[in-house]
Every structure is written in C-alpha cells, then in structure tokens.
Amino acid sequence: MKKIIMVSAASLVLLSGCQQVKDWSNDLTGKKDQTEEKQQDEKKPEQTPADEKGNASAPEETTPPELQLDARFFNDIKEVDGHAIIQNPSNILAMVNKDYGLGEYKPDDLVRPDVPFVFGEEDLEKAHMRKEAAEHLEDMFAGAKKDNLYLTAISGYRSYDYQKMLLEREKEQYGDEKAVMAVAPPGNSEHQSGLAMDISSQSHQFQIDIPFGETKEGKWLAEHAHEYGFILRYPEDKEEITKYQYEPWHFRYVGKEAAKVIYDKHWTLEEYFDHVKEI
C-alpha cells in the first residue's frame, strides 16, 4: 500500500525557491584593527551553525493551518486487478473519482435523512446517506427553508451494482463517450461513498440539469453549501480537472473545515489535495 499525495507543479517550483540558500561574503584580507572588529561585532547578527560555515539558513517553510491535513485524510491506495482502490473508504475526505475507486465498499452507517425526497416515503437505496452527512444535509435543507427556499433530495447512496446498471443504461441511450462524462463507472462514483446527494426543487420540476444552477435554489446551494460541510463537487469550467461535466445539483459532504477552504479558494476536491500538506 502507498499513500497518494498530489502536489501541483506550481507548488514544487515555489518549494524549491523557498529552500534556496545564499552565501555570506567572507572577509578576504583577514586584517582588521580592534576598532573595526568591535564595530563589526556590534553590527553582526546572531549566527546559526549554518551561518558560521558561510551559508545563511533558509527560512522555514510555513503552511497555513487550514492547509495542514492529518495523514488519515489522504487516500490510502492499493492496486487491485489494475485498479487503484481506496483502502480507507470511510474517510470523510476520500477522493473518489475516475482514478481512485471504492471497489465494492458499502458504508456501515447509512441512514435516511429527514428531508423531502422526490419519491416521497418510498424506502429506496438512494434515500440514504452516511450518518454524519445526513445530519448536515438536514441542517442545510432547514437553512434553505429559513430563506423561503424548498429543496428536494433526488439521489443519495448508490451501490456498486446500481451504478453499473446506470452506466449501461446511459451508454445505450447516449453512447459510450457521452455516458462516461455523465455517469461514473461502478466503484468510482461518489454516491457509493454515501457522502453525496443530488438535489433539486419543486420549482424546477425536480430536474437535475445544468439550468438548475441558475435557479434561486441552485444559486443558494452554490453560495451556502460550504457552511454545512458540502461542496459543489463538479463546478463549471473545471471539467479538465474533475473529468466530469458541470453538475450544479451534485453536492458532496467533506466537513465544514475543508468545505470552507475549497469554497474560498474556488477549488475542486482534486485541487484541494494538490495544495494541502500532510502532517
């Protein structure tokens, strides 16, 4: 097993720049009168062992607290049958995408959040989320309601087998190329993590489509979801990074701290892991 830690090229350049050291000029004559030596001693800064050898110590790199992340929140990856499988799938910050999958993982803490679903009270698999995410989803729906906006949950947890069926159906309708941009392969869907929910509203006829992002509900979610620990997982103009089309209805729970950083920096989850430092 190995830890996967992604660092952007820009970060590497910055890091190498921070670690440069410069030489101190040495006295070439070695001859100074006592007055000069006294003046120099008064002006000379306190030296470190590195200074005494003729080199200034490089300033210690500082990472903002919000970009320091415990090692347990990084993907722990093992290659299984040619696929990169996450070995710590219960991690709230598990980065699930087309590169890193969940295998046939099923969360053991799935619950039904107390929010309106498009299919009513019917007991369906997709009416569930992991407990922590479900509690924060309830808070988010309540927050929207205070602003006179009424959200509707469309689809939460999906099993490996259900995702496989969805992809096959999408391929039949739209062809392979379009299908893989819209539907994750089985094992590589965030819905399987139990941390994602597709959201719409009655005012938008419960549709999950790009125009939802222009509705009052869609705009509210984009602006406020991070306050409840959720992020807009597939933002507009980030398709090259996420490998998915813009999905203004798809929200992923990552916890309030990470969500705030991602929102403030206008990052994707992938970009977040490009910048955070393991501690």
The catalytic residues are: 247
d(C-alpha 64, C-alpha 76), whole Å: 24
229 close to 254: Cβ distance less than 8 angstroms: yes
HEC string for the chain: CEECCCCCHHHHHHHHHHCCCCECCCCCCCCCCHHHHHHHHHHCCCCCHHHHCCECCCCCCCCCHHHEECHHHCCEEEEECCEEEECCCCCCCCCCCCCCECCCCCCCCEECCCCCECCCCCCCHHHCEEHHHHHHHHHHHHHHHHCCCCEEEEECCCCHHHHHHHHHHHHHHHCHHHHHHHCCCCCCCHHHHCCEEEEEEHHHCCCCCHHHHHCHHHHHHHHHHHHHCEEEEECCCCHHHHCCCCEEEEEEECCHHHHHHHHHHCCCHHHHHHHCEEC
Burial class for 184, CB neighbours closer than 10 Å (0-12, 13-18, 19+): buried
